[in-house]
Amino acid sequence: MVTGKKILLCVSGGIAVYKAVALTSKLVQAGAEVRVIMTKSAMEFVTPLTFQTLSRNEVYFDTFDEKNPQVIAHIDLADWADLVLVAPATANTIGKLANGIADNMLTTTLMATKATVWIAPAMNVHMYEHPAVQENIQTLYQFGYRFIEPSEGFLACGYVGKGRLEEPEKIVELLVNHFEKIESGSPFHNVKMIVTAGPTREKIDPVRFFSNHSTGKMGYAIAEEAAKLGANVTLITGPTAIAPPETVTTVRIETAQEMFDEVLKRYNDAEVVIKSAAVADYRPAKQYTQKMKKQSTQLVIEMERTNDILKELGRQKTHQLLVGFAAETNNLEEYAKKKIETKNLDLIVANNILSKGAGFGTDTNIVTMIDRELNKTELPLMSKIQVAKKLLDKVHLLLRERG
Protein backbone atom coordinates (compact mmCIF):
# COMPACT_ATOMS: atom_id res chain seq x y z
CA MET A 1 0.00 0.00 0.00
CA VAL A 2 3.00 2.37 -0.06
CA THR A 3 3.64 1.80 -3.76
CA GLY A 4 3.81 5.18 -5.45
CA LYS A 5 3.37 7.08 -2.18
CA LYS A 6 5.57 10.14 -1.75
CA ILE A 7 7.41 9.94 1.57
CA LEU A 8 9.50 12.88 2.72
CA LEU A 9 11.99 11.51 5.26
CA CYS A 10 13.39 14.19 7.58
CA VAL A 11 16.55 13.05 9.35
CA SER A 12 17.84 14.93 12.39
CA GLY A 13 21.14 14.31 14.14
CA GLY A 14 21.64 11.31 16.40
CA ILE A 15 23.27 7.91 16.35
CA ALA A 16 19.93 6.45 15.20
CA VAL A 17 20.58 8.00 11.77
CA TYR A 18 21.95 4.61 10.75
CA LYS A 19 18.42 3.20 11.14
CA ALA A 20 17.09 5.95 8.86
CA VAL A 21 19.43 4.59 6.18
CA ALA A 22 17.85 1.13 6.50
CA LEU A 23 14.39 2.74 6.60
CA THR A 24 15.06 4.54 3.31
CA SER A 25 16.10 1.29 1.68
CA LYS A 26 13.03 -0.59 2.93
CA LEU A 27 10.62 2.14 1.84
CA VAL A 28 12.11 2.19 -1.66
CA GLN A 29 11.94 -1.60 -1.83
CA ALA A 30 8.26 -1.37 -0.82
CA GLY A 31 7.60 0.90 -3.80
CA ALA A 32 7.54 4.32 -2.15
CA GLU A 33 9.17 7.38 -3.66
CA VAL A 34 11.46 8.77 -0.99
CA ARG A 35 13.10 12.17 -0.71
CA VAL A 36 15.36 12.99 2.19
CA ILE A 37 16.06 16.16 4.15
CA MET A 38 19.01 16.11 6.56
CA THR A 39 20.11 18.50 9.28
CA LYS A 40 23.77 19.42 9.52
CA SER A 41 24.00 17.35 12.70
CA ALA A 42 22.66 14.30 10.86
CA MET A 43 25.40 14.74 8.27
CA GLU A 44 27.96 14.25 11.05
CA PHE A 45 26.79 10.63 11.31
CA VAL A 46 25.99 9.70 7.68
CA THR A 47 26.78 11.48 4.42
CA PRO A 48 24.04 12.73 2.07
CA LEU A 49 25.50 10.48 -0.63
CA THR A 50 24.32 7.41 1.30
CA PHE A 51 20.70 8.58 1.27
CA GLN A 52 20.99 9.78 -2.32
CA THR A 53 22.21 6.35 -3.44
CA LEU A 54 19.42 4.49 -1.64
CA SER A 55 16.56 6.88 -2.44
CA ARG A 56 17.76 7.63 -5.99
CA ASN A 57 16.83 11.23 -5.35
CA GLU A 58 18.70 14.39 -4.48
CA VAL A 59 19.17 14.96 -0.73
CA TYR A 60 18.29 18.37 0.74
CA PHE A 61 20.12 20.03 3.62
CA ASP A 62 20.58 23.73 2.77
CA THR A 63 17.58 26.06 2.78
CA PHE A 64 19.39 28.49 0.47
CA ASP A 65 20.62 25.94 -2.06
CA GLU A 66 18.02 26.61 -4.76
CA LYS A 67 19.04 24.45 -7.73
CA ASN A 68 15.76 24.86 -9.66
CA PRO A 69 14.79 28.51 -10.27
CA GLN A 70 11.25 27.42 -11.17
CA VAL A 71 10.40 26.46 -7.56
CA ILE A 72 11.33 27.26 -3.96
CA ALA A 73 12.83 24.01 -2.73
CA HIS A 74 11.31 23.76 0.76
CA ILE A 75 7.85 24.79 -0.46
CA ASP A 76 8.05 22.36 -3.37
CA LEU A 77 8.97 19.50 -1.00
CA ALA A 78 6.25 20.49 1.47
CA ASP A 79 3.62 20.36 -1.29
CA TRP A 80 5.04 17.17 -2.88
CA ALA A 81 4.77 14.84 0.12
CA ASP A 82 1.89 12.46 0.84
CA LEU A 83 3.40 11.93 4.28
CA VAL A 84 6.31 13.49 6.17
CA LEU A 85 8.27 11.24 8.52
CA VAL A 86 10.79 12.70 10.98
CA ALA A 87 13.07 9.80 11.90
CA PRO A 88 15.05 10.06 14.01
CA ALA A 89 13.58 13.09 15.73
CA THR A 90 15.90 14.61 18.33
CA ALA A 91 14.82 16.59 21.39
CA ASN A 92 16.19 19.68 19.65
CA THR A 93 14.11 19.22 16.50
CA ILE A 94 10.97 18.39 18.49
CA GLY A 95 11.50 21.54 20.57
CA LYS A 96 11.92 23.71 17.49
CA LEU A 97 8.78 22.38 15.83
CA ALA A 98 6.70 22.78 18.99
CA ASN A 99 7.76 26.40 19.31
CA GLY A 100 7.55 27.45 15.68
CA ILE A 101 11.30 27.79 15.10
CA ALA A 102 12.19 27.31 11.43
CA ASP A 103 15.94 27.80 11.15
CA ASN A 104 17.00 24.98 8.84
CA MET A 105 15.78 23.07 5.80
CA LEU A 106 14.00 20.44 7.88
CA THR A 107 12.02 22.72 10.18
CA THR A 108 11.25 25.24 7.41
CA THR A 109 9.75 22.51 5.24
CA LEU A 110 7.73 21.06 8.11
CA MET A 111 6.25 24.46 8.90
CA ALA A 112 5.09 24.75 5.29
CA THR A 113 3.61 21.30 4.72
CA LYS A 114 -0.06 20.36 4.88
CA ALA A 115 0.72 16.66 4.64
CA THR A 116 0.32 14.20 7.49
CA VAL A 117 3.40 14.39 9.75
CA TRP A 118 4.73 11.47 11.77
CA ILE A 119 7.50 11.91 14.31
CA ALA A 120 9.72 9.07 15.57
CA PRO A 121 11.74 10.29 18.57
CA ALA A 122 15.15 8.82 19.42
CA MET A 123 17.28 10.01 22.32
CA ASN A 124 18.64 9.20 25.75
CA VAL A 125 15.96 7.86 28.11
CA HIS A 126 16.35 10.79 30.54
CA MET A 127 16.09 13.31 27.71
CA TYR A 128 12.92 11.63 26.48
CA GLU A 129 11.39 11.73 29.97
CA HIS A 130 12.35 15.37 30.57
CA PRO A 131 9.22 17.50 31.23
CA ALA A 132 10.17 19.98 28.50
CA VAL A 133 10.44 17.24 25.88
CA GLN A 134 7.17 15.64 26.99
CA GLU A 135 5.42 19.01 26.91
CA ASN A 136 6.73 19.66 23.40
CA ILE A 137 5.49 16.25 22.28
CA GLN A 138 2.04 17.00 23.68
CA THR A 139 2.03 20.39 21.93
CA LEU A 140 2.83 18.77 18.60
CA TYR A 141 0.22 16.10 19.19
CA GLN A 142 -2.38 18.81 19.69
CA PHE A 143 -1.20 20.35 16.41
CA GLY A 144 -2.18 17.06 14.75
CA TYR A 145 1.23 15.40 14.47
CA ARG A 146 1.36 11.63 15.05
CA PHE A 147 4.11 9.91 17.03
CA ILE A 148 5.84 6.57 16.69
CA GLU A 149 6.88 5.92 20.26
CA PRO A 150 10.50 4.90 20.84
CA SER A 151 11.08 1.35 21.99
CA GLU A 152 12.86 0.23 25.14
CA GLY A 153 16.26 -1.39 25.18
CA PHE A 154 20.01 -0.81 25.30
CA LEU A 155 20.83 2.72 24.15
CA ALA A 156 24.02 3.95 22.48
CA CYS A 157 24.78 6.06 25.56
CA GLY A 158 24.97 2.91 27.69
CA TYR A 159 21.64 3.32 29.46
CA VAL A 160 18.82 0.83 29.20
CA GLY A 161 15.38 2.40 28.80
CA LYS A 162 12.93 4.05 26.43
CA GLY A 163 14.59 6.02 23.66
CA ARG A 164 15.49 3.69 20.80
CA LEU A 165 14.19 4.62 17.38
CA GLU A 166 11.55 2.10 16.39
CA GLU A 167 12.86 -0.58 14.04
CA PRO A 168 12.61 0.27 10.29
CA GLU A 169 10.51 -2.83 9.59
CA LYS A 170 7.94 -1.73 12.17
CA ILE A 171 7.83 1.83 10.82
CA VAL A 172 7.21 0.54 7.29
CA GLU A 173 4.44 -1.69 8.67
CA LEU A 174 2.80 1.31 10.37
CA LEU A 175 2.99 3.31 7.14
CA VAL A 176 1.42 0.46 5.19
CA ASN A 177 -1.43 0.27 7.72
CA HIS A 178 -1.89 4.04 7.52
CA PHE A 179 -2.27 4.10 3.75
CA GLU A 180 -4.48 1.01 3.81
CA LYS A 181 -6.87 2.85 6.11
CA ILE A 182 -7.00 5.84 3.77
CA GLU A 183 -7.52 3.65 0.70
CA SER A 184 -10.34 1.74 2.41
CA GLY A 185 -12.05 4.91 3.65
CA SER A 186 -11.42 4.50 7.37
CA PRO A 187 -14.49 5.56 9.36
CA PHE A 188 -12.42 7.45 11.94
CA HIS A 189 -9.71 8.81 9.65
CA ASN A 190 -7.90 11.55 11.63
CA VAL A 191 -10.68 11.77 14.22
CA LYS A 192 -9.10 12.91 17.50
CA MET A 193 -10.16 10.48 20.20
CA ILE A 194 -9.38 10.21 23.91
CA VAL A 195 -9.75 6.82 25.58
CA THR A 196 -9.23 6.37 29.32
CA ALA A 197 -8.41 2.98 30.78
CA GLY A 198 -7.31 1.08 33.87
CA PRO A 199 -7.56 1.90 37.57
CA THR A 200 -6.28 4.82 39.58
CA ARG A 201 -4.27 4.62 42.79
CA GLU A 202 -4.90 6.92 45.73
CA LYS A 203 -1.93 7.14 48.07
CA ILE A 204 -2.16 6.59 51.81
CA ASP A 205 1.57 6.58 52.53
CA PRO A 206 4.73 5.64 50.57
CA VAL A 207 3.78 1.95 50.89
CA ARG A 208 -0.02 1.74 50.64
CA PHE A 209 -2.75 2.96 48.33
CA PHE A 210 -6.44 2.44 47.55
CA SER A 211 -7.27 1.07 44.10
CA ASN A 212 -9.67 -1.30 42.31
CA HIS A 213 -9.63 -4.47 40.21
CA SER A 214 -9.61 -2.83 36.77
CA THR A 215 -6.94 -4.24 34.42
CA GLY A 216 -7.43 -1.80 31.55
CA LYS A 217 -8.20 -4.57 29.04
CA MET A 218 -11.45 -3.00 27.83
CA GLY A 219 -10.00 0.47 27.35
CA TYR A 220 -6.86 -0.84 25.65
CA ALA A 221 -9.01 -2.88 23.25
CA ILE A 222 -11.05 0.23 22.38
CA ALA A 223 -7.92 2.31 21.82
CA GLU A 224 -6.31 -0.32 19.60
CA GLU A 225 -9.42 -0.90 17.47
CA ALA A 226 -10.04 2.85 17.11
CA ALA A 227 -6.47 3.35 15.87
CA LYS A 228 -6.97 0.54 13.35
CA LEU A 229 -10.01 2.44 12.06
CA GLY A 230 -7.91 5.55 11.50
CA ALA A 231 -8.52 7.52 14.71
CA ASN A 232 -5.79 9.66 16.19
CA VAL A 233 -5.98 8.11 19.67
CA THR A 234 -4.64 9.33 22.99
CA LEU A 235 -4.83 6.58 25.61
CA ILE A 236 -4.77 7.97 29.15
CA THR A 237 -4.15 5.01 31.40
CA GLY A 238 -3.74 4.15 35.02
CA PRO A 239 -1.26 1.48 36.17
CA THR A 240 -1.76 -1.79 34.26
CA ALA A 241 0.24 -4.92 33.53
CA ILE A 242 -0.43 -4.88 29.77
CA ALA A 243 1.44 -3.07 27.02
CA PRO A 244 -0.42 -0.26 25.26
CA PRO A 245 -0.95 -0.43 21.49
CA GLU A 246 1.99 0.97 19.54
CA THR A 247 -0.30 2.93 17.24
CA VAL A 248 -1.66 5.27 19.94
CA THR A 249 -0.21 8.07 22.04
CA THR A 250 -0.05 6.83 25.63
CA VAL A 251 -0.20 9.06 28.70
CA ARG A 252 0.38 7.29 32.01
CA ILE A 253 -1.17 8.50 35.25
CA GLU A 254 -1.57 7.20 38.80
CA THR A 255 -4.23 9.23 40.61
CA ALA A 256 -7.75 10.41 39.86
CA GLN A 257 -6.52 14.01 39.96
CA GLU A 258 -3.83 13.25 37.36
CA MET A 259 -6.46 11.57 35.17
CA PHE A 260 -8.72 14.63 35.55
CA ASP A 261 -5.90 17.02 34.62
CA GLU A 262 -4.69 15.04 31.59
CA VAL A 263 -8.17 14.54 30.13
CA LEU A 264 -9.20 18.16 30.62
CA LYS A 265 -5.94 19.37 29.09
CA ARG A 266 -6.83 17.64 25.81
CA TYR A 267 -10.61 17.91 25.88
CA ASN A 268 -11.08 20.98 23.67
CA ASP A 269 -9.23 19.33 20.78
CA ALA A 270 -11.00 15.98 21.09
CA GLU A 271 -13.90 14.91 18.88
CA VAL A 272 -14.69 11.66 20.72
CA VAL A 273 -14.03 10.79 24.36
CA ILE A 274 -14.55 7.24 25.61
CA LYS A 275 -14.08 7.09 29.36
CA SER A 276 -13.69 3.44 30.29
CA ALA A 277 -11.25 3.93 33.19
CA ALA A 278 -12.29 2.88 36.69
CA VAL A 279 -11.48 6.11 38.50
CA ALA A 280 -11.54 6.25 42.30
CA ASP A 281 -14.52 8.15 43.72
CA TYR A 282 -12.69 8.83 46.98
CA ARG A 283 -9.12 9.37 48.17
CA PRO A 284 -7.56 9.69 51.64
CA ALA A 285 -8.03 13.20 52.95
CA LYS A 286 -4.48 13.05 54.26
CA GLN A 287 -1.46 11.39 52.65
CA TYR A 288 1.40 10.49 54.94
CA THR A 289 5.00 11.12 53.87
CA GLN A 290 6.31 8.31 56.10
CA LYS A 291 5.09 4.73 56.38
CA MET A 292 2.26 4.42 58.90
CA LYS A 293 3.08 1.94 61.65
CA LYS A 294 0.49 -0.62 62.69
CA GLN A 295 -1.46 0.24 65.80
CA SER A 296 -3.05 -1.85 68.52
CA THR A 297 -6.40 -0.16 67.91
CA GLN A 298 -8.56 0.01 64.79
CA LEU A 299 -7.51 2.45 62.10
CA VAL A 300 -9.94 5.00 60.64
CA ILE A 301 -8.97 6.80 57.44
CA GLU A 302 -10.98 9.86 56.47
CA MET A 303 -11.83 9.96 52.77
CA GLU A 304 -12.68 12.88 50.49
CA ARG A 305 -14.36 12.99 47.08
CA THR A 306 -12.30 13.11 43.93
CA ASN A 307 -13.33 15.22 40.95
CA ASP A 308 -16.10 13.62 38.89
CA ILE A 309 -14.32 13.56 35.53
CA LEU A 310 -17.28 12.43 33.45
CA LYS A 311 -19.62 15.00 34.98
CA GLU A 312 -17.11 17.78 34.31
CA LEU A 313 -16.67 16.64 30.71
CA GLY A 314 -20.44 16.66 30.29
CA ARG A 315 -20.62 20.17 31.75
CA GLN A 316 -17.92 21.51 29.42
CA LYS A 317 -19.07 19.60 26.34
CA THR A 318 -19.42 21.62 23.14
CA HIS A 319 -18.80 19.53 20.01
CA GLN A 320 -17.49 16.31 21.58
CA LEU A 321 -19.22 12.95 21.46
CA LEU A 322 -18.99 11.67 25.04
CA VAL A 323 -19.16 7.99 25.96
CA GLY A 324 -19.22 6.73 29.55
CA PHE A 325 -19.09 3.33 31.21
CA ALA A 326 -21.19 2.04 34.10
CA ALA A 327 -19.86 -0.98 36.01
CA GLU A 328 -22.68 -2.00 38.33
CA THR A 329 -23.75 -4.90 40.54
CA ASN A 330 -27.51 -4.21 40.49
CA ASN A 331 -30.17 -2.02 38.86
CA LEU A 332 -27.96 -1.83 35.79
CA GLU A 333 -30.31 -0.10 33.37
CA GLU A 334 -31.67 2.33 35.95
CA TYR A 335 -28.23 3.55 36.99
CA ALA A 336 -26.99 3.71 33.40
CA LYS A 337 -29.91 5.86 32.23
CA LYS A 338 -29.47 8.16 35.20
CA LYS A 339 -25.81 8.66 34.26
CA ILE A 340 -26.77 9.65 30.72
CA GLU A 341 -28.88 12.49 32.10
CA THR A 342 -26.74 13.67 35.02
CA LYS A 343 -23.46 13.56 33.07
CA ASN A 344 -24.73 14.74 29.69
CA LEU A 345 -23.57 11.62 27.83
CA ASP A 346 -24.22 10.66 24.23
CA LEU A 347 -23.78 6.96 24.92
CA ILE A 348 -23.19 4.72 27.91
CA VAL A 349 -21.83 1.18 28.06
CA ALA A 350 -23.18 -0.69 31.08
CA ASN A 351 -22.19 -4.06 32.45
CA ASN A 352 -22.95 -6.09 35.56
CA ILE A 353 -19.54 -7.03 36.96
CA LEU A 354 -21.09 -9.95 38.88
CA SER A 355 -22.12 -11.67 35.65
CA LYS A 356 -19.90 -14.59 34.71
CA GLY A 357 -17.40 -13.49 32.08
CA ALA A 358 -18.14 -9.79 32.53
CA GLY A 359 -16.08 -8.77 35.55
CA PHE A 360 -12.71 -7.08 35.90
CA GLY A 361 -9.68 -8.94 34.54
CA THR A 362 -11.56 -11.14 32.06
CA ASP A 363 -10.94 -11.23 28.32
CA THR A 364 -14.70 -11.17 27.73
CA ASN A 365 -17.58 -8.88 28.57
CA ILE A 366 -21.39 -8.65 28.48
CA VAL A 367 -22.59 -5.11 27.93
CA THR A 368 -25.65 -3.02 27.16
CA MET A 369 -25.23 0.19 25.15
CA ILE A 370 -27.79 2.96 25.68
CA ASP A 371 -27.80 6.26 23.77
CA ARG A 372 -29.35 9.65 24.60
CA GLU A 373 -32.68 8.64 23.08
CA LEU A 374 -32.57 5.56 25.35
CA ASN A 375 -32.19 3.22 22.39
CA LYS A 376 -30.77 0.03 23.83
CA THR A 377 -28.36 -2.50 22.29
CA GLU A 378 -27.69 -5.62 24.33
CA LEU A 379 -24.57 -7.59 23.48
CA PRO A 380 -24.10 -11.22 24.55
CA LEU A 381 -20.90 -12.65 26.01
CA MET A 382 -18.08 -11.81 23.61
CA SER A 383 -14.41 -10.87 23.68
CA LYS A 384 -13.51 -7.35 24.73
CA ILE A 385 -12.06 -6.79 21.27
CA GLN A 386 -15.45 -7.67 19.76
CA VAL A 387 -17.18 -5.37 22.26
CA ALA A 388 -14.77 -2.60 21.26
CA LYS A 389 -15.66 -3.08 17.59
CA LYS A 390 -19.41 -2.99 18.31
CA LEU A 391 -18.98 0.11 20.45
CA LEU A 392 -16.99 1.89 17.74
CA ASP A 393 -19.63 0.95 15.16
CA LYS A 394 -22.18 2.72 17.35
CA VAL A 395 -19.91 5.74 17.85
CA HIS A 396 -19.40 5.97 14.08
CA LEU A 397 -23.15 5.85 13.53
CA LEU A 398 -23.69 8.65 16.07
CA LEU A 399 -21.03 10.77 14.37
CA ARG A 400 -22.66 10.23 10.99
CA GLU A 401 -26.06 11.23 12.39
CA ARG A 402 -24.46 14.49 13.53
CA GLY A 403 -23.23 15.03 9.98
Residue 231: give the domain boundaries: 192-286+298-402
**Are residues 304 and 348 located together in one domain of the fold?**
yes
338 marked as part of a ligand binding site: no
**Are residues 227 and 273 located together in one domain of the fold?**
yes
Task: Look up 157 and say whether it is catalytic.
Answer: yes
Rounded mean pLDDT, 34-41: 97
**Are residues 62 and 211 located together in one domain of the fold?**
no
**Are residues 363 and 394 located together in one domain of the fold?**
yes
Report the CATH number at residue 121.
Answer: 3.40.50.1950
**Are residues 202 and 176 located together in one domain of the fold?**
no
Give the domain-ending residue among 148, 164, 183. 183
**Are residues 266 and 144 located together in one domain of the fold?**
no
**Are residues 157 and 73 located together in one domain of the fold?**
yes
When mean pLDDT is compared over 63-72, 154-163, 286-295, the highest value belongs to 286-295
**Are residues 255 and 396 located together in one domain of the fold?**
yes
325 marked as part of a ligand binding site: yes
- Catalytic option among 30, 127, 157, 353: 157
Per-residue pLDDT tens digits for 282-340:
999 999 999 999 888 898 999 999 999 999 999 999 999 999 999 888 998 999 999 99
Residue 173 belongs to some domain of the structure: yes
Q: Looking at residue 336, what is its pLDDT?
A: 93
Q: How many domains does the chain have?
A: 2
Residue 1 belongs to some domain of the structure: no
Per-residue pLDDT tens digits for 105-149:
999 999 999 898 999 999 988 999 999 999 999 888 878 888 898
Q: Looking at residue 194, what is its pLDDT?
A: 98
Share of the chain above pLDDT 70, in %: 98
Residue 44 belongs to some domain of the structure: yes
**Are residues 307 and 333 located together in one domain of the fold?**
yes
Residue 293 belongs to some domain of the structure: no
| Residue 253 pLDDT > 90 | yes
Give the domain-ending residue among 183, 218, 240. 183
293 marked as part of a ligand binding site: no
Name the pLDDT band for 366 (thresholds 50, 70, 90). very high
**Are residues 147 and 77 located together in one domain of the fold?**
yes
Residue 291 belongs to some domain of the structure: no
Q: Looking at residue 393, what is its pLDDT?
A: 93
| Three state DSSP letters for the chain | CCCCCEEEEEECCCCCHHHHHHHHHHHHHCCCEEEEEECCCHHHCCCHHHHHHHHCCCEECCCCCCCCCCCCHHHHHHHHCCEEEEEEECHHHHHHHHCCCCCCHHHHHHHHCCCEEEEEECCCHHHHHCHHHHHHHHHHHHHCCEECCCEEEECCCCCEEEEECCCHHHHHHHHHHHHHHHHCCCCCCCCEEEEEECECCEECCCCCEECCCCCCHHHHHHHHHHHHCCCEEEEEECCCCCCCCCCCEEEECCCHHHHHHHHHHHHCCCCEEEECCECCCEEECCCCCCCCCCCCCCCCCCEEECCCHHHHHHHHCCCCEEEEEEEECCCHHHHHHHHHHHCCCCEEEEEECCCCCCCCCCCEECCEEEECCCCEEECCCEEHHHHHHHHHHHHHHHHHHHC
Q: Which residue has the higher pLDDT, 318 or 230?
A: 318
Give the domain-ending residue among 183, 202, 233. 183
Residue 114 belongs to some domain of the structure: yes
Per-residue pLDDT tens digits for 162-207:
778 999 999 999 898 888 776 666 788 879 999 999 999 999 999 9
**Are residues 315 and 353 located together in one domain of the fold?**
yes
217 marked as part of a ligand binding site: no
Name the pLDDT band for 350 (thresholds 50, 70, 90). very high
51 marked as part of a ligand binding site: no
Q: Looking at residue 97, what is its pLDDT?
A: 96
Residue 162 belongs to some domain of the structure: yes
The average confidence (pLDDT) of the chain is 92
Report the CATH number at residue 245.
Answer: 3.40.50.10300
**Are residues 232 and 152 located together in one domain of the fold?**
no
